[in-house]
Amino acid sequence: MNLLNQMILLYAEDEVDIQKHYSNYFKHYFKFVHTAVNGKEALAKYREIEPDVVILDINMPYLSGLEVAKKIREDGSDVCIILLTARTDKKALIEAVELGLVTYLEKPICRGSLKKALAKLNQKVESKNSINLWFYKNNYYIWDKIRQQLFYRQQQIALTKQEIILLEILIVNNGAKVSYQDIYEEVWFNEDREYKESTIKTLISTLRVKLPPKAIENVYGMGYYLNLQTIS
């Protein structure tokens, strides 16, 4: 679950002893753990800290976990949400179906179920933060947005710091042309050196070797763009 340890968790539970117990447990998995004791506080903290994951007890004062989840979705967020429920909360879970939950857990929570839920969450995060770039020889080149790493056939492709910056610029622009000047300013923004087109061309050449043919196209005299079409 190595992706979760880069994530911020908001955990809302109104039973203080339970909250303390599980927040300590979650600290083994997440980078930061924030807590709330009621739905109103949970929603306020969610909007303040913008966590990557939200775990909500469904029965809380002021706003229920379900109501908080609905308001989060109304804000347009696709943050990962897990609901903690009692066995009697079946009706509420039916309402929650359209909220795109990662999963739900029945209380009292057992460690085995919680580990399975976190594993499912990790898979969800991986899927959410990975981009299939090119389909080449029956496999995808996959860009991991969080790790800033490129994979092909489940093997990481070694990229230099400058190649990572360049590739990310091209990916963010989603097939649109990026000018020489923009590339130069992004890649060498903290270096005091004279602008040279040849420097950019050298970097493009080294990156192209690590990608499928025609993955990076040139607009003569203007810049480069990522060819995101399937490459056979």
pLDDT in tens, 202-225: 999 999 999 999 999 999 888 999
Average the pLDDT over 139-154 and give the result: 89
Rounded Cα gap, residues 54 and 80, in angstroms? 6
| % of the chain with per-residue pLDDT over 90 | 64
Q: What pLDDT, on the 0 to 100 scale, is given for residue 157?
A: 96
Taking a C-beta distance cutoff of 8 angstroms, is the pair 52, 7 a contact?
yes
* Domains of the chain and any CATH numbers: 4-128 (3.40.50.2300), 130-226 (1.10.10.10)
Q: Is the pTM of the predicted complex or chain greater than 0.85?
A: no
Q: Which of 42-46, 86-90, 93-97 has the highest average model confidence (pLDDT)?
A: 42-46
Strand-by-strand arrangement of the 216-219 sheet? 178-179, 223-226, 216-219
Q: What residue has token string 């903690």?
A: 84
Is residue 190 over pLDDT 80? no
Is residue 73 over pLDDT 80? yes
Give the least confident one: 52-66, 112-126, 149-163.
112-126
Give 100's pLDDT tier (boundaries 50, 70, 90). confident
Please report which helix (H) or strand (E) contains residue 187, including its range: helix 180-187
Alpha carbon 154 to its chain centroid, in Å, reads: 19
Alpha carbon 2 to its chain centroid, in Å, reads: 13
Mean pLDDT of all residues belonging to the chain: 89
Q: What residue has token string 């087109």?
A: 197
Is residue 1 over pLDDT 60? no
Is residue 232 over pLDDT 60? no
Average the pLDDT over 121-128 and give the result: 83
Is residue 106 over pLDDT 70? yes
Taking a C-beta distance cutoff of 8 angstroms, is the pair 49, 73 a contact?
no
Give 230's pLDDT tier (boundaries 50, 70, 90). low
Q: What pLDDT, on the 0 to 100 scale, is given for residue 101?
A: 87
Average the pLDDT over 31-42 and give the result: 96
Give 95's pLDDT tier (boundaries 50, 70, 90). confident
Please report which helix (H) or strand (E) contains residue 21, including its range: helix 16-26
Taking a C-beta distance cutoff of 8 angstroms, is the pair 224, 217 a contact?
yes
- Helices marked H in 35-156: 39-49, 65-74, 90-96, 111-128
Residue 67 tokens read as: 């109501």
Is residue 80 over pLDDT 90? yes
Q: What pLDDT, on the 0 to 100 scale, is given for residue 110?
A: 87
Rounded Cα gap, residues 214 and 230, in angstroms? 10
